Amino acid sequence: MAKKELKVQPYLAPMPVLMIATYGENDKVDVMNMAWGGICDSDKVALNIGADHKTSENIRARKAFTISVADVPHMAESDFFGIATGNKMGDKFERTGMHAVRSAKVDAPIIEEYPLTLECEVIIDDEESGWHRVIGKIVGVLCDEDKLDEKGRPDFARLNLFAFDQFSSGYYAMGEKVGQAWNAGAGLMKG
């Protein structure tokens, strides 16, 4: 098959749809939809945020955030968190009708409707070239009990997650298991 050279774009797919929740002034809840982030170590996450976002301001001030994974039942609210900016819309979170409670482990809110949340404290906070790069240490993980498997682990299919496709700006439901990691390629080890 012939390959065609494309214009340089951030063409990696799928991208996670991460909900970054922080507190602003007067404990005001702010949530941002972000795709440019993810796990960077067994107990750490990395975020790449535009430095002018309300979320960046809140992270600098509070040194904490939570990350929730967006699920299909809350796609409209999750997309809205990416469309609206907390810098211009003071009631951004309230408009969604979602609910937040204070984390017991970090100075950040937990959005009750999302099924899986990582509670993170900032360990690296760096701004360069207009980007805010943050490394957070995961200090707590919360998951809805009905989203756990029989061994007490989050069940990917039950989480009902969706991913972001940067090629077409689409959202795609995830959940079909197509293989077992560290097993699907084991046959190639022989010989």
Q: What is the dihedral of CA 160, 14, 99, 131, to 10 degrees?
A: 170
pLDDT for res 162: 93
Tens of pLDDT along the chain (191 residues) come to: 999 998 998 888 888 999 999 999 999 999 999 988 999 999 999 999 988 899 999 999 999 999 999 999 999 999 999 999 999 998 999 999 999 999 999 999 999 999 999 999 999 999 877 788 999 999 999 999 999 999 999 999 999 999 999 888 899 998 888 899 999 999 889 86
Beta strands in the chain (DSSP E): 15-16, 18-23, 29-34, 37-41, 44-50, 64-69, 100-102, 109-111, 116-128, 131-143, 162-165, 170-173
> How far apart are alpha carbons 43 and 40 in whole angstroms?
8
Q: Which CATH superfamily is domain 15-189 in?
A: Electron Transport, Fmn-binding Protein; Chain A (2.30.110.10)
How confident is the model at residue 109, as a pLDDT? 98
This prediction has a pTM of 0.93
Quote the pLDDT of residue 93: 97
Rounded-to-integer distance, Cα 19 and Cα 45, Å: 13
Contacts of 160 (CB under 8 A, 6+ apart): 71, 72, 73, 115, 173, 175
Secondary element (H or E) of residue 92: helix 92-96
pLDDT of 14: 85
Instruction: Answer yes or no: are the C-beta atoms of 138 and 94 closer than 8 Å.
Output: no
Per-residue pLDDT at 12: 84
pLDDT the model gives residue 106: 98
Q: Are 52 and 87 in contact (CB under 8 A)?
A: yes
Contact in structure between 60 and 139 (CB atoms under 8 Å): no
Q: Measured between alpha carbons, how far is 50 from 46 in angstroms, rounded to an integer?
A: 13
Task: Write phi, then psi, for 88 (nearest 5 degrees).
Answer: -120, -15
